[in-house]
Structure formats: structure tokens, C-alpha cells
Amino acid sequence: MLSLVFLRLCPPGFVLSLTGFLPLTVARAASVHRRFPTGKDSSSKMQSLPPVNLLLDAFLSDPDEAAVAFGPDGTIFLWNRAAEALYGFLELEMIGKSVALFHPLYELPSFEALLYNPRLLDPSADGLAERLNKSGSRVSVRVRQTLIRNSQGEMLGILERARRAPTANPGSVAEMHLRLLVEQMPLFFWTADKDLRITSHWGRSASLARSFPRHPVGQTVHQYLRCREDSETPVKEHFLALRGIPSRFDYASRNRVYDLSIEPHRDPDGILIGCIGTALDVTERKKSEEEIRHRATHDGLTGLANYREFYESLEREVSRAGRTHQPFTLLLLDLDDLKSINDRFGHLAGNRALNRLARVMKDQCRATEVAARYGGDEFALLLLDADGQRGHHVAGRIRTALRLQTDSPPLSVSIGLSVYPEDGLSATELLEAADKRLYQNKKSRPRGESPADKQHSRTASS
């Protein structure tokens, strides 16, 4: 009587043996092996066949439970009648095909991670997932997955058992479109449990592969985000999320910039079960914003800071020096006889002269100090943590560097200097003091032909 039940349950492509159902190809191979044994090689091949008891159990345990088995490459080799009823695909349509045929696009990354590292599989887990029906609609299922191993413990595949799960709106076209849209954006989603281990991730990987691993499921957040310490950003924001505190911030990694959001993850009852993270690649947007900001704060001709940027930097330094009681020095520079250069050599020569002075100023100050085109032929230099002695030393180096240039026409510069706090405690007072000394130095210049005039006279006479 039991054999009749077995025969009725036997799926197409399988035969009934003393040990249970065997795929027809397996049964034939076993028959050949018995009649024509070929030694150890053939024996090892027979040992690698899927365990019959596990597959038989998949058929007999529950006739309403869909059973699908696939190899390490994702190729399906078992598809029972309950799977036909649940997913709409016939066994003949699915045997030898990829599991991707009935997996939604947004489920594939986690499935790919499972195939890549089967040790992540938890046979005791009973989770919700979505699969595709032949009609194209999504089916909500509750799945259990079990590793299929041979007698030597080597993995031969994965057996997935599934039952239909209730869902509020199983055929939501709008939701499907939303998920597909997210897949095409430079965006990552991931979830982590309360131990900060990655439990799922999905989203586009092409633009984020350099900063985020492709197979993160099972890794810790530290491994996923390449951080060692709990106090490092963005790991510390995950700990905040576990306390119910959301975070949003920019995060730079491997020459890319991401808009990261770390939120508490709660179940339908509102109980906190982990974290949800999103990473949006905003590198190009940041580059555009930085370019716009640079144009707004820098002189288009010389590349130095403009007047507005310089004045804001001066006010910040006044405020900082008031707290630290550290001196700083302000230099105002005026390129001598720029009008004469423009009149005698042309405006292009005048622009080149402005750039020559700008390059000398950059060379003579530190990267943290501010060199600016103050306006027209006037320039400014903000020397941080510098007293008057260093200010005079830098001014002397600038004059010497201009005098040693071999470019034509030769240039000279008048310089006025003020020091905080001796010459003023505000930006306005320091500018007035430096401007007064600049005017005095200009008046004290020897009268007669300027270096540019002399160069022009020599050129004309020759």
C-alpha cells in the first residue's frame, strides 16, 4: 500500500528505489555503476550525488510546501508539484534553469551572497521573502533553506521550501516599479541586527563597489564599512540607531562621497530589532557644489581668494586670536605702476603681471594662510600665528622674488603691514593700519621712471 502512495507522489523524471525517489539520471548512473564498476573514481562520483532522504523528505513532508533545490551555480535540479502550483512554472520549464527566473531583481543580491558564501545560511531561520510567479506578479512566501551535502560533507546545493505568506497587496505594480527604480539608482540599502551584523543589502553595486563589499551579508558593520573602532564614523552612528537615534551625514570613502542615513529598524510591533542604512553616491553633486563655491569665493584671474572670502577669513582669525591670544600679521600689497604696464604693454601683459605677483605670494606663504586679490592691483596676505618680525621677513622675500624674475616687464610692489593685537583688535582697525603704512611706503618710493617705464624705454631705443 505504501508503495502505491510512493508511486502516486513520484514526480516526473524520478524513479522509485528501495531508498526513496531518485532522479532518473541518478538512477541510471547508479545502475551503470553496479554493472560496470570503474574503481575509486566512479565511487567518488556516486558519493557526490544529492542525499536521497533529504529530497524524499521534501516531497513527503507537506504536499502544500513548494520544494526547489539548486546547485552552487544556481541551476535548479528539483521542482516539485507544490512549486508548480505556487509559482506557475512547470517542472520541465525549470529543471536546468537558473533560480533567477523566479527571483525578483531586488532579491538577487542577497541570494548571490548566499551562493557565494553558503555558510551564511541558517537552517533554523524561517523568513519572509518574495518570488516571481510565471505571470510576472510577486508572491510573498515564508521560506526555509537547507544545505545539501554529500557523505564527505561537501556542499552540493541548497534545498528551499516555501509556503505562501499572507500579504496586504501582493500585486502592487507601483511598489514593484519603486523597487526597480531604486535598483537603477546609485544607492545602497542594508540592514543590520542588534549585534551589528549585516542581514541584507540591495541596490545598485556598480558605482559603490570600490567603497562597499559586494557580498556583505554575515559581515559585521565594521567589516562592511572598513572601520576598526566603535567610535569611528559611520560605525558609531549604528550604535546611536540601536538607541533609537537616527543620523544623516556625508561620508567620504575612496575618492567618493556618500549621503549616509542610519535609522533604527523596528518590527511591525515597534520593537527595535537593528539598524537600516542607506548610502547615496553624491560625489558628482559635491564636485559641482565645490566648483560653484570656489567660483564664488575666488578671483577668476589669479585663483586667489576674493575680497569677500578674505574679509570673512580675517574676521574668523580675529575671533580665534581673541580666544588663543596668539598674534597674526596682515600684509596689504599694491602692484606698482599697473596702469603704466597696461598703457605701454597692453592689458594682457597687465594680467600676466597680476598673475606673476599672485604666484610669488602663494610661494611665500603656508597652505593654511590666506592669499587674496583685494581688488584691482591690490592684494592681501593673512599670516597666521605670525608676529611683526615674520611679517617683515615675508614682505622682504616677496620683493626679492619679484626682483629676481626674468619675465618682462620687471615688477615691484609696495607693502603695508599690521599686527594683531598691537595695531588693532578688529578687522577694520587692522585694515586701516596696514593701508596707512602701504600709502606711506608708496609715497616714499623714489621718483622717476618705474621699472616698467625703464624696460619700455630700453625696448623703444633698441
19-28, 275-284, 307-316, 397-406, range with the lowest pLDDT? 19-28
Cα distance between residue 355 and residue 302, in whole Å: 5
> DSSP letter at 298?
B
pLDDT at 32 (0 to 100): 35
Average pLDDT over residues 353-358: 94
Q: Could you say which architecture CATH assigns to the domain 299-461?
A: 2-Layer Sandwich (3.30)
pLDDT at 93 (0 to 100): 92
Extract the C-alpha cell encoding 200: 541584507
Instruction: Please say whether the beta carbons of 345 and 409 come within 8 A.
Output: yes
Categorise residue 212: left if φ over 0, alpha if ψ from -120 to 50, beta otherwise: beta
Average pLDDT over residues 2-10: 42
SS3 at position 25: helix
Angle between helices 24-35 and 40-47 (to 10 degrees): 160
Categorise residue 448: left if φ over 0, alpha if ψ from -120 to 50, beta otherwise: left
44-172 and 299-461 in the same fold: no
Domain 185-286 -> CATH class = alpha beta
Is the pLDDT reported for residue 64 higher than 90? Answer: no
CB count in 10 Å sphere of residue 400: 11
Q: Work out the pLDDT band at 210, boundaries 50, 70, 90.
A: low
Strand ranges, E, within 283-376: 328-335, 370-375
pLDDT at 178 (0 to 100): 58
How much is the pTM?
0.51
Assign a CATH topology to domain 44-172. Answer: Beta-Lactamase (3.30.450)
pLDDT digits (tens, 9 = 90+) for 254-268: 788 889 999 999 988
CB count in 10 Å sphere of residue 15: 14
Average pLDDT over residues 23-50: 42
Cα distance between residue 433 and residue 185, in whole Å: 56
pLDDT at 363 (0 to 100): 92
Q: For the chain, what percent of residues have pLDDT higher than 90?
A: 40
End-to-end CA distance of the chain: 123
pLDDT at 372 (0 to 100): 95
Instruction: Please say whether the beta carbons of 213 and 121 come within 8 A.
Output: no
Task: Please state, rounded to an integer, the average pLDDT across all residues of the chain.
Answer: 79
> DSSP letter at 160?
E
Cα distance between residue 425 and residue 122, in whole Å: 69
Is the pLDDT reported for residue 123 higher than 60? Answer: yes
Instruction: Please say whether the beta carbons of 154 and 117 come within 8 A.
Output: no
Long-range contacts of 305-313 (CB under 8 A, 24+ apart): 305/370, 305/371, 305/372, 305/373, 306/372, 306/373, 307/372, 307/373, 307/374, 307/375, 309/370, 309/372, 310/370, 310/372, 310/374, 310/380, 310/382, 311/427, 313/370, 313/372, 313/382
pLDDT digits (tens, 9 = 90+) for 438-457: 999 888 877 655 555 555 45
Average pLDDT over residues 36-54: 44
pLDDT digits (tens, 9 = 90+) for 426-435: 999 999 999 9
DSSP H or E stretch at residue 43:
helix 40-47
Cα distance between residue 331 and residue 49, in whole Å: 84
The domain spans of the chain are 44-172, 185-286, 299-461
Using only C-alpha atoms, the chain has a radius of gyration, in whole angstroms, of 38
